[in-house]
Structure 1
Amino acid sequence: MHVVFGANGRAGGETARALIERGEAVRVVLRRKEQGETWTALGAEVAVAHMEDADAMADALNGASAAFLVNPPPVSGDPYARTEELGAALADAARRARLPKAVVLSSIGAQHASGTGVIATLNRFEALLDGVAPTTTFLRSGYFVETWGEVAETVMSESVLPSFLEPSQKIPMVSTIDVGRAAATLLCEEWTGKRVVELAGPEDWSAGDVAAAFAEVLGRPVVPVPVPPERRAALLAEAGVPAEVASALLGMYEAIANGLFMHQDGYEHRRGTISLATAIERIVATLEPAGH
């Protein structure tokens, strides 16, 4: 039985679907029972647990052969304090359930304990979960291509791609489809001990490449428009992002600009197969009116 946390999120959902497609037994862990109807229809078991509740998470992990563990993206409060709380509770639950194997979602750049904004929470998350299972992989993912979905409506209506990334800087990016497939593969592989696997797409991409992919999908030019650093905090505030979360996110983009979001030597590197155009096409398809 593979237990998947974060199944209603991007990476967790793709991991659960990839496991189901492989014919594996899957139990998804959700915050509310009513979120489980889709997963029940797909043949998965559903467990309900808040990630602050170590007892409920231990129950959800009971009998698991392996589990996919995540630190949910911050939405409010202090992201670093929340990581301490959730990471400690999840580690306690995994140990109590005697979890034999874990794949922990992390990020490229998580080798740095500071100076990387929100990515630094994953450095701490890795430390908190180190050793919770005899067999543990830290899956350090590239920048999710699907994150660009947050500005896709602007792209489609105005033919410009607002970006906090410098348009020509290529960085490791990856579709969450590939993240899910890689996580499912790691959960099913036979191995022992601890390892770190870095995952990126077929090649590294820039914001300019993303704009070109939108242009290809939409059939018209799309221009990448970098947002000046002095404007970014105000934009996030306008979007309703709380100040502490915004600060952590802006720290990540500063780290990317400073070259800290890079592969680390000495670890296993894997690449997915989903092209940038394929991932962008899926984003656009979710926003276009039915029958368009």
Structure 2
Amino acid sequence: MIVIFGASGKVGRATAAALRSSGQAVRAVVRNAQQGSGLMQLGCEMAIADLLDEASVASAMRGADAVQILCPVPIADAHPANTMHRMIDVTVAALRANPPARVLALSDYGAELESGTGITMLFHALEMQLKPAVQNLTLLRAAEHMQNWARVLPAALSTGILPSLHHPLSKRFPTVAAQDVGRVAAELLLDSGHANALRTVSVEGPQRVSAPDVARTLSELSGREIAAHALPRDAWAPTLLRAGLSAEHAKLITDLYDTHNAGLIDAQVFGERRFGTTQLSEVLASMLPSNATAER
């Protein structure tokens, strides 16, 4: 039995689907029953768990041969770092109590850095706590998800301006489709050749892109002229606050992009690398409203 936490998300669903296609028994862990209908159609066993409750998490892991761990950054939370640290503590305690044969943890590019990375520091904390607790651990560090551009698509389509925190605009950065992360995760969960070892794998898409590449692709897909715009540094926090994030969450994001723009976040030099096959254009097209797609 392979247990997938966060199975209703884009990465978790892709992992579950790939595992089921290969004939594996999968237990999909979700927060509520409404999230499970599509996963049940895949043939997954369902489990509901509260990631802040150790008994709930331990119950979801019971009998697992392998577990895919996800500790998501809480979005609508005034103190997201504190909440995620509690999730990590709960998850690690459950794993220590009844360790499965293999654990794969979803992490981020830059998680090896010990300071200054904002949100990614939370994944650093996850990795640091898992390493002494899990004998056979795979850390799957993903580049920035292509799906993250969904947050600014409505503004870009309505104004013709694609705001970007990537500076300078010409900088090409790694990005990856969430479904490719899930498929790579499934491959790694099925690979039993690294028993009793720590494995670090970085995954990104088929090519690196810049913000103007994203804007150009959106223009081609929508038939509207869209240009990338480097959002001034002093506008980052106010923009994020207007988007509904808490002050602490906004600070985690601004710290991350300061470090990213300094060129300090990338695939780790020492470790395996995998590359997805999904193109940026495929992901952006899937996120556009049907009336925003250019006729071809």
Question: Same-fold call, TM > 0.5?
Answer: yes
Q: Equivalent residue for 1:163?
A: 164
Which piece of structure 1 moves more, 102-111 or 215-224? 215-224
AA matched with 1:188? L
> Is the Cα–Cα contact under 8 Å of residues 79 and 118 in structure 1 kept in the other structure?
no
Q: CA shift at 1:58, angstroms?
A: 1.0
How far has the Cα of 1:9 moved from its partner?
2.3
8 Å contact kept, 2:16–2:28: yes
Aligned partner of 1:175 in structure 2 is: 177
Alignment of 1:1-292 (within 5 A): 1-75=1-75, 76-166=77-167, 167-190=169-192, 191-192=194-195, 193-284=197-288, 287-288=289-290
- CA 1:44–1:289 in 2, change beyond 3 Å: closer, same or farther? farther
Residue identity opposite 2:36 in structure 1: G
* Length, aligned pairs only: 290
- Opposite residue 133 of structure 1, the aligned amino acid is V
Q: Note the C-alpha offset of 1:290.
A: 11
Distance 1:290 1:13, change over 3 A: farther
Gaps of 5+ in 1: none
Of the structure 1 ranges 209-218 and 180-189, higher mean CA displacement relative to structure 2 is found in 209-218
Deviation (angstroms), 1:289: 5.1
Q: Distance in 1 between matches of 2:48 and 2:291?
A: 33
Structure 1 runs of 4+ with >4 Å offset: 289-292
**Code of the aligned partner of 1:104:** A
- Contact 1:2 1:27 survives alignment (8 Å): yes
Identity rate, percent: 33
Q: Deviations over 1:155-185 (max 9, x none)?
A: 2223321111122111111010110111111
Deviations 1:42-84 (A, max 9, x none): 2111101101111111111111111110111232133332232
Q: Deviations over 1:185-219 (max 9, x none)?
A: 11111222111101111121111111122122223
Deviations 1:98-142 (A, max 9, x none): 211011011111111111111111101111111433221000100
SS in structure 2 at match of 1:202? coil
Match of 1:246, as an amino acid? A
Change (3 A) 1:117 1:270: same
Distance in structure 1 (CA, Å) of the matches to 2:235 and 2:248? 16
AA at the equivalent of 2:59: D
TM-score by length of 1: 0.94
SS at match of 1:134: coil
Question: Structure 1 residues 79 and 260 mapped into 2: Cα distance closer, same or farther (>3 Å)?
Answer: farther
Residues 147, 130 of structure 1: alpha-carbon distance in 2 compared, 3 angstrom cutoff: same
Alignment RMSD: 1.8
CA distance in 2: counterparts of 1:24 and 1:208, whole angstroms: 41
Conserved in 1, the CA contact under 8 Å of 2:172 and 2:208? yes
Q: CA deviation at 1:233?
A: 1.0
DSSP 3-state at the match of 1:248: helix
Name the SS for the 1:74 alignment partner: coil
Distance 1:174 1:32, change over 3 A: same
Contact 1:110/1:119, CA 8 A, preserved across alignment: yes
Shift of 1:3: 0.7
Which piece of structure 1 moves more, 6-15 or 206-215? 6-15
Give the partner amino acid of 2:281: A
Letter in 1 for 2:129: L
Tell me which amino acid in the other structure corresponds to 1:13.
R
Q: Is the 8 A contact 1:99 1:132 kept in 2?
A: no
- Segments of structure 2 that go 5 or more residues without pairing to the other structure are none
